[in-house]
Amino acid sequence: MAVTTIDLYVRPEDGWVLAATAPAAYLLVKPENFFPWWVVVSATTPVSVVTRATGNVTFGGLPVADETVTINGEVYTFKAARAAAFEVTIGADAEATADNLLAAINLDGNGTYNPTDAGVGVVTITAAAPGVAGNAVTLAESATNTTVSGATLTGGVDAVIGVPMGRESDYRLEPFELPTGTAGNVYIRVRNPIASEPTNQQARFAVVAET
């Protein structure tokens, strides 16, 4: 095992920056100038922006009357003409049918998902709940010429906040020491200092790690 020290310079616009790759047992991240900053231990690069889960209902032609699309447990039934809630008029073509499904969802859906027109014959379903919670919204079809992108919506990602280390209230140059035995890579990010602080827009950290 060897202990190495590096100087790491991070700007607010850099987002999450890799400070150390799988330190063996010891790591210390010490700020050299004041910035509000955060640290997180993660197997993959963390993200700062939440992402909503999505999926598609795609029409390659026309469905048949009384066939269905089910979204998060709500069943939409195709009909020659809509006469009740959760019914979808079969249009003259795939695009018209997709538009009619979109309209039915806007009228009847329970608000846990939202539809958008994603192109000819495609309706994109987006989870109302942000982040990974939206990945639980289900999709299914039992209809001719109709496909769904998967059994659930996908792509929902929670934003990673991290552990706050730099604090504006007391201007502490607080270091972060990785607990022994913690697995993963160490990432840090900084944000703009308060407007009255005359520092430059780059934070310097001394990273001491055992490899």
* Tokens matching residue 128: 């109302």
Is residue 140 domain-shared with residue 97, that is, in the same domain? yes
Determine the average pLDDT of the residues in 146-175: 81
Report whether 152 contacts 137 (CB < 8 A): yes
CATH code for position 205: 2.60.120
Is residue 61 domain-shared with residue 141, that is, in the same domain? yes
- Counting the structural domains of the chain, the total is 2
**pTM beyond 0.75:** no
Is residue 64 domain-shared with residue 142, that is, in the same domain? yes
Cα distances (Å, whole numbers) of residue 152 to 60, 67, 77, 167, 174: 20, 20, 19, 40, 43
Lowest model confidence (mean pLDDT) among 1-15, 93-107, 179-193: 179-193
Is residue 44 domain-shared with residue 58, that is, in the same domain? no
Does 154 fall in a domain?
no
Residue 168 clears pLDDT 70, i.e. is over it: no
Highest mean pLDDT among 140-144, 164-168, 197-201: 140-144
Does 92 fall in a domain?
yes
Could you read off the pLDDT of 7-62 as tens digits, one per residue?
889 888 888 999 888 887 788 888 887 778 888 888 888 887 789 999 999 999 99
Residue 68 clears pLDDT 90, i.e. is over it: yes
Provide, rounded to the nearest whole percent, the portion of the chain with pLDDT above 90: 50
Is residue 142 domain-shared with residue 176, that is, in the same domain? no
| Model pLDDT, residue 4 | 84
Is residue 58 domain-shared with residue 138, that is, in the same domain? yes
Is residue 38 domain-shared with residue 59, that is, in the same domain? no
* Residue at 105: amino acid letter: I
Does 99 fall in a domain?
yes
Q: Which residue has the higher pLDDT, 145 or 196?
A: 145
Residue 79 host element (H or E): strand 74-79
Is residue 166 domain-shared with residue 188, that is, in the same domain? yes
Does 155 fall in a domain?
no
| Model pLDDT, residue 200 | 55
> What whole-number distance in Å separates Cα of residue 203 and Cα of residue 191?
9
Residue range(s) defining the domain that contains residue 194: 3-48+160-210
Mean pLDDT, the chain, whole residue set:
88
Cα distances (Å, whole numbers) of residue 171 to 28, 38, 167: 19, 14, 6
Is residue 80 domain-shared with residue 137, that is, in the same domain? yes
Is residue 10 domain-shared with residue 39, that is, in the same domain? yes
Is residue 192 domain-shared with residue 166, that is, in the same domain? yes
| Model pLDDT, residue 176 | 85
Determine the average pLDDT of the residues in 166-195: 71
* Tokens matching residue 194: 């308060």
Does 153 fall in a domain?
no
Report whether 168 contacts 38 (CB < 8 A): no
Does 105 fall in a domain?
yes
Is residue 129 domain-shared with residue 183, that is, in the same domain? no
Residue 197 — pLDDT band, cuts 50, 70, 90? low
Does 76 fall in a domain?
yes
